[in-house]
Amino acid sequence: MEQKTNTEAPKAYKPLDYKNNQPIRWCPGCGDHAVFNVLLKAMAALGIPPEKTAVISGIGCSSRLPYYTRTYAFHTIHGRGGAIATGFKTANPDMTVWQVAGDGDCLAIGGNHFIHEVRRNLDVNLLLLNNRIYGLTKGQFSPTSARGFKSKSSPYGTTEDPFIPAELAFGARGTFFARSIDVELGISQEVMEAAARHQGCSVVEILTNCMIFNNGIHSNITDREVRPDRTIHLVHGEKMIFGRDHNRGIVQDGFGLKAVTIGEDGYTLDDVLVHDAHCEHSFVHQMLAMMDGTDLPVAVGVIRDVEAPSYERAVAEQVEQAKQLHGFTCLRDVVMAGDTWEVK
Amino acid sequence: MAEKAKVQFRQSIVVRFSGDSGDGMQLAGNIFSNVSAGLGDRISTFPDYPAEVRAPQGSLGGVSGFQVHIGHGVHTPGDECDVLVAMNPAALKQNAQYLRKNGAAIVDIDTFTQAGLDKALYTTTEPYEELGMTAQVIEAPITTMVKEVLKDTGMDLKAQLKCRNMFALGLVCWLFNRPMEAPLKFLKAKFADKPAVYEANELVIKGGYNYGHNIHATVSTYRIQSDDVRPGIYTDVTGNKATAWGLIKASEMSGRPLFLGSYPITPATDILHELAKRRDLGVKAIQMEDEIGGICAAIGAAFAGHLAVTTTSGPGLALKSEGLGLAVMAELPLVLVDVQRGGPSTGLPTKTEQTDLQQALYGRSGESPLVVLAAASPTDCFKMAFQAARIAIEHMTPVILLTDAFIANGSSAWRIPEEGEYPVIKPNYVPEAIKPTWTPFMRNALGIRYWAVPGTPGLEHVVGGLEKDYNTGILSNDPINHAHMVETRRMKIANIANYIPELKLKGDPTADTIILGWGSTYGHILDAVNRLNDEGHKIAMTHLRYINPLPKNTAELLSRFKTVIVAELNTGQMASYLQSKIPNLNICHINKVQGQPFMVQEIVDGVKNIMMEEEL
């Protein structure tokens, strides 16, 4: 192995440095292709070496992603990616961990691990690929499918309300939430890099399309013609402006939010809110994340990004403090410090 | 110190403390066993506490017990006790059955009121007759005397009554000629920051001791002589603590940091407690959101290059079975400790059984062989935890270590091992020479996959739950390859038989009959075998601690005997396993599934019955 010295410049990585030579098995047109390619770019841009990078997933179409990477990668069991990532990252905090999960993997069978991983603020970058369907098992409704959604396992329509991932993440006291769309490559890369820079559990929801079992599920907001009016790209410190003509904005309306046209009904640019992703209180972040594309545009970009102690660092720090506490160096020290007697 | 009226020499003595679960019986028993250990006795203890944290006071469900066996040749906490301390009528009712016929019961007679008898569901006003007791009963007015001793301390009544356990302890110390210094030293340390509490306890324990002296005319007392033990430094350990320490030792000897992913479950939680304390040694023990999270965190840590452990009991093992399957498939080292309890389902959470054996052997999807070990005593938990970790790391496999409530909570004196007593554990790292061409499922000559620790440049790789190609480690659905991989994983485990000790023969090797046990029944079976041979019934004995794979000589050794009696705390799980592995054996059974350990006499009687039937 080549040894780096301090005088050398840090090695620059290319996206292909993080990709292995395995054939990619996602269906043609699947949104996961785009997410994977952007992830490779984000990894290269971040410049963390492949050997310091881990990709951990559960089971599902999107969870196949680790098989295509040249990192320390682990394709685990359904729903358990978060728990396995927790052990992995806690054991070795020096690794940068990407977790990849689908909506069924993360929010149904793995729902418990998800909320606790978020609550603990484990420093992982959690890519939640939300296509609102079970693809690998060929088309059953998922916990993000809308009420009444018809599928093979709900032929008359579901009789239950869906989870909204952001709401769940905020309910679990998440410190980072971002959203993108599979076709928004630039925004996807931006939020992935921001997620990696955030020290804590970074939940990145990416709306993906399943060509085979749920084609067009997000098209009411993602189609090229409607996207500018039904989505808004939030950037910290910038005005919340959107629309084909960049003349629409989000303003405060009592305790809620409202989309207005600048220059109409007395609204000026000054009325438009400036995004503050670093605000400790999550109330406005939640309102922004819950905008659903009907009256208010769906928010993409980094919605919330606040500092808090990450779990694995806290564990590591406590270990260091505890070591100082008693000065034990080995098991024998511990045993001898207790009640002992000698038999001669 | 007072002169004793009578001193009776006995090889060993069993004392059972019992009372309400709030009465501090566990503490009294613990102090007594520590004091005895300090005098050089062999000790073995058995806490028997209720499932409810606090059942109604004075009720049968709230009775908590602690049995301690001290003296010579002690392998078990004892079947019957010589002295039973019962702090109330319920405790007497629950425990009178364990008292030897000519033993002695000490009761707090102040609690034997009509209300107290009613709460314990006595139907007459003559509790001893009702229970058919023939033992001597010492009716001590413990409550009254404790109040009297503490009347000038200004303590409220509730606080005073909390000291009743120390009165009983003082009385027991007097009975067994234990000097007061040792328990007082223990209490002083325990209540170092509460001097008033210490002083009250000191007054009460001395009161109990003096009370014992004052009634000496009516009591037979015993003195216990120290056992001859190997020289060294000793401490008292429970099986759970020994398990935790054995894992730490394995971490030290392997150079791999120790990680525990766990979830609280009776009776395994004390391992989590001990390892959580050991952050001071660098151990990362984390409590996860559920049992599945516990094993999955451990698997993540194993992938990260740690000695990874998860701890649980039967129902938790069921939840972890999918995780075990992943560890089998990904060929990662993992130790799972199952502290068995009464089942199925929630069952008898605080009681002991050996009913998880077949779950451990077979409870996974697909062909998923793994290593199963069992510890034979509280101190053996140290050794077997170390062995579990050694096998996991050196052979890249999950290992299940079975202990149970009986040895997990029971304690024995344990000699602290000297440097060099335990071997260096050698992780199967990727050899430097093959690094350039290494793929993740390359194996050494023994069929063991190499362990590439994340962070190492050039060894980035993918593992997972899907089947892989034998040669490249790349995903494969090929039918022949799958069959080959199944066989490879089977052989990897079978080959471990070459790296574990052979089965040893005890008792009379010329006998026609051998008794085989496994795990925590060792002490009881050994005592039974000694007793049978002393009585002229020829019997041999062997004990399994390595269950899968079986020691190499198992079939040969067992086949020497006309009859193999398998004694176990289930309905025959080991017997059917052995029968499937070694079909020609004539296997007979001694089984017990009551949530309680064997009694030596039950084994003796069982063997005699089988011998009689086999003669016919």
Question: How many domains does one find in chain B?
Answer: 3
Q: Is the same domain home to B495 and B511?
A: no
| A224, two tokens | 């090229």
Contact A339 B236 (CB under 8 A): yes
| CB-defined contacts A:B, below 8 A | 200
Asked if the structure places residue B459 within a domain, the reply is yes
pLDDT at residue B1 tops 80: no
**Please, which pLDDT band fits residue A274 given cuts at 50, 70 and 90?**
very high
pLDDT attached to residue B6: 35
Among B72, B181, B281, most A C-beta atoms within 10 A, so best to mutate, is: B281
User: A95 to chain B nearest CA, in Å?
Assistant: 7
CB neighbour list of residue A344: distance below 8 Å, 6 or more residues apart? B231
Across the interface, whether the CB atoms of A86 and B288 are under 8 A apart is answered yes
pLDDT tens-digit series, residues B138-155: 899 999 999 999 998 888
Residues of B in contact with A87 (CB under 8 A): 259, 261, 286, 296-302, 304, 308
> pLDDT digits over B496-531, tens only?
999 999 999 999 999 999 999 999 999 999 999 999
Question: What is d(CA B386, CA B371) in angstroms, rounded to the nearest whole number?
Answer: 14
Q: Is the pLDDT of residue A156 over 90?
A: yes
**Alpha-carbon gap, residue A97 to A89, rounded angstroms:** 7
Task: Quote the Cα angle for B134-B137-B142, to 5°.
Answer: 160
Same domain, B300 and B354: yes
CB A4 within 8 A of CB A11: yes
- Do B254 and B189 share a domain, yes or no? no
- The whole-angstrom distance between B411's CA and the closest CA on chain A is 14
Asked if residues B142 and B20 have their Cβ atoms less than 8 Å apart, the reply is no
Q: What is the pLDDT of residue B50?
A: 73
* CATH classification at residue B195: 3.40.920.10
B409 band by pLDDT with thresholds 50, 70 and 90: confident
Check whether residue B151 and residue B32 sit in a common domain: yes
State how far the Cα of A280 lies from the Cα of B104, in Å rounded to an integer. 68
pLDDT the model gives residue B101? 75
pLDDT, residue B11, reads 65
Instruction: Show the DSSP H helices in B191-335 as ranges.
Output: 195-214, 239-254, 269-277, 291-303, 314-330
Based on the domain organization, do B487 and B571 belong to the same domain? no
Confidence (pLDDT) at B545:
98
The dihedral through the CA atoms of B191, B193, B194, B199 has a sign that is positive
Q: Looking at residues A162-166, what average pLDDT do you find?
A: 98
In a domain, B64, yes or no: yes
| Residues 6+ away with beta carbon under 8 Å from B442 | B434, B449, B450, B473
> Mean pLDDT, to the nearest integer, of A37-63?
98
CA-nearest residue to A92 within chain B is B304
d(CA A319, CA B168): 41
Q: Are residues B493 and B570 in the same domain?
A: no
Contact B296 A319 (CB under 8 A): no
Is A210 a member of any domain?
yes
List pLDDT tens digits, range B538-570. 999 999 999 999 999 999 999 999 999 999 999
> Does B289 sit within 8 Å of A336, measured CB to CB?
no
Residues B266 and B218 in one domain: no
Same domain as B553, residue B405? no
Q: Is a pLDDT exceeding 80 seen at residue A6? A: no
Residue B123, Cα to own-chain centre: how many angstroms? Answer: 37
CA distance A311 to B116: 51
Give the bridge partners for B71, in sequence order: B12, B42
Q: Which domain holds residue A89?
A: 15-217
Contact B299 A76 (CB under 8 A): yes
Note whether B231 contacts A344, CB cutoff 8 Å. yes
How far is B257 from A227, CA to CA, in rounded Å?
51
Give the pLDDT mean for A54-80: 97
Within-domain flag for A150: yes
Residue B592 · residue B598 · CB < 8 Å? yes
Q: What is the pLDDT of residues B234-255, one digit of tens each?
A: 888 889 999 999 999 999 999 9
* pLDDT tens for each residue of B151-205: 988 889 999 999 999 999 999 888 777 888 888 988 998 899 999 999 999 999 9
- Domain boundary among the residues B196, B224, B252 is at B224
Using alpha carbons, list the distances in angstroms from residue A290 to A213, A229, A296, B295: 25, 16, 9, 35
Q: Are B282 and A319 within 8 A, CB to CB? A: yes
Q: Please check the confidence at residue B435 and state whether its pLDDT lies above 70.
A: yes
Instruction: Compute the nearest-CA separation of B37 from chain A (Å).
Output: 8
CATH number at residue A212: 3.40.50.970
User: Are B417 and B447 in the same domain?
Assistant: yes
Q: Quickly tell me which residue has 């009178």 as its tokens.
A: B96
B486 closest CA partner among B475, B470, B471: B470
Binning pLDDT at 50, 70 and 90, where does residue B4 land? Answer: very low
* Most confident stretch, A272-286, B65-79, B94-108: A272-286
Q: How far is A10 from chain B (nearest CA, A)?
A: 15
* Helix or strand run (H / E) with residue B69: strand B63-71
Q: Which of B419, B410, B340 is nearest to B373 (CA)?
A: B340
Is there a contact between A51 and B232 if contact means CB atoms under 8 Å apart?
Answer: no
Alpha helical stretches, state H, B439-512: 479-494
The CA–CA distances, whole Å, from B315 to A239, B264, B320, B351, B362 equal 54, 12, 9, 14, 15
Contacts of B557 (CB under 8 A, 6+ apart): B503, B505, B542
Nearest CA in chain A to B304: A88
**A92-101, B78-87, B330-339: least confidently modelled range:** B78-87
The predicted pLDDT at position B58 comes to 85
* Least-confidence region, from A265-269, B21-25, B529-533: B21-25
pLDDT for the residue numbered B148: 92
Residues of A in contact with B322 (CB under 8 A): 77
Query: In which order are the strands placed within the sheet that holds A72-75?
Result: A231-234, A298-305, A176-181, A202-207, A125-130, A96-102, A53-57, A72-75, B462-464
Hey, how many other C-beta atoms are within 10 angstroms of the C-beta on A236?
16
Mutation target vs B (from A1, A63, A70, A84; most B CBs, 10 A cutoff): A84
- Angstrom distance (rounded) from CA B515 to CA B524: 12
Find the mean pLDDT for residues A7-14. 76
- The Cβ-side half-sphere exposure at A16, using a 13 Å CA radius, reads 1
Please list, residue by residue across A28-39, b when 16 or more beta carbons sit within 10 angstroms of its beta carbon and e when fewer do: eebbbebbbbbb
* Residues A128/A115, Cβ–Cβ less than 8 Å: no
Average pLDDT over residues A102-109: 97
Are A95 and B454 in contact (CB < 8 Å)? yes
Residues of chain A by 3-state class (helix, strand, coil), percent to 5: 35, 20, 45
Same domain assignment for residues B496 and B512? no
Cα separation, A170 vs A177, whole angstroms: 8
Instruction: Choose the closest CB to B322 out of A77, A325, A331.
Output: A77
Q: What is the DSSP letter of A209?
A: -
Q: Do B326 and A76 touch (CB under 8 A)?
A: yes
Percentage, residues of chain B above pLDDT 90: 72
Instruction: Write down the number of H helices and E strands in chain A.
Output: 11, 12
Indicate yes or no: CB of A343 within 8 angstroms of CB of B232: yes
Task: Judge whether A274 lies within some domain.
Answer: no
Range of the domain at B88: 8-224
Count Cβ atoms below 10 Å from residue B217 Cβ, excluding itself: 7
CB contact under 8 A, A72 and B303: yes
A87·B322 Cβ contact <8 A:
no
Supply angle C-alpha B471, B474, B480, rounded to 5.
60
Q: In this structure, is residue B2 part of a structural domain?
A: no
What is the CA angle B601-B607-B613, rounded to 5? Answer: 135
Nearest to B245 among A75, A331, A343 (CB): A331
pLDDT score of B5: 34
Q: Cis check for the bond before B549: say yes or no (omega within 30 of 0).
A: yes
pLDDT of residue B221 exceeding 60, the answer is no
d(CA A167, CA A144) in angstroms, rounded, equals 12
Averaged pLDDT, B213-235: 58
| Chain A residues in contact with B281 (beta carbon < 8 A) | 323, 328, 330-331, 334
Q: Considering chain B, what percentage of its residues have pLDDT values greater than 70?
A: 95
Using CB atoms, pick whichever of B34, B455, B474 lies closest to residue A92: B455
**CATH value at residue B470:** 3.40.50.970
Instruction: Please judge whether A74 and B303 are an interchain contact, meaning their C-beta atoms are less than 8 angstroms apart.
Output: yes
Residue pair A53/A19 in contact by the 8 Å Cβ criterion: no
* B133 shares its domain with B60: yes
Question: Considering chain B, what is the average pLDDT of its residues?
Answer: 91
Q: How confident is the model at residue B407 (pLDDT cuts 50, 70, 90)?
A: very high
Determine the average pLDDT of the residues in A297-313. 98
Residue A339: closest C-alpha in chain B: B235
Contact A343 B459 (CB under 8 A): no
Find out whether A89 and A48 touch, Cβ atoms under 8 Å: no
Q: Domain for residue B345, yes or no?
A: yes
- Residue A113: its chain B contacts at CB < 8 A? 289, 292-293, 296
Which residue in B279, B309, B415, B456 has the most chain A C-beta atoms within 10 A of its own C-beta, making it the best mutation to test that interface? B279
How far apart, in whole angstroms, are the C-alpha atoms of residue B32 and residue B85? 13
Asked whether B338 and B403 are in contact (CB, 8 A), the reply is yes
Q: With CB atoms and an 8 Å threshold, state whether B296 touches A116.
A: no
Pairwise CB contact (< 8 Å): A86 & B330 = no
Q: What is the mean pLDDT of residues B64-85?
A: 85
Two tokens at B457?
């440049």
R_g (Cα) of chain A, nearest Å: 23
> For tokens 């009591």, what's the residue?
B219
3-state secondary structure of A249: strand
Q: Are the CB atoms for B239 and B377 separated by under 8 Å?
A: yes
Asked if residue B230 is part of any domain, the answer here is no
DSSP secondary structure letter of residue B80:
S
- What's CA B134's distance to the chain center, in Å? 32
What's the mean pLDDT in B74-102?
88
Give the nearest chain A residue to B185 (CA atoms): A339
Residue A2: pLDDT band (50, 70, 90) is very low
What's the number of domains chain A is made of?
A: 1
Same domain, B195 and B76: yes
CA distance B611 to A208: 72
Domain assignment of residue A176, yes or no = yes
pLDDT per residue over B263-314, tens digit each? 999 999 999 999 999 999 999 999 999 999 999 999 999 999 999 999 999 9
Closest-approach residue (CA) in chain A for B249: A331
pLDDT at B367 over 90: yes
Q: Which residues of A touch B293 (CB under 8 A)?
A: 80, 83, 86, 112-113, 116
Residue A34 · residue A188 · CB < 8 Å: yes
How far apart, in Å, are the Cα atoms of B96 and each of A132, B230, B279? Answer: 64, 36, 44
Among B233, B277, B289, B290, most A C-beta atoms within 10 A, so best to mutate, is B289
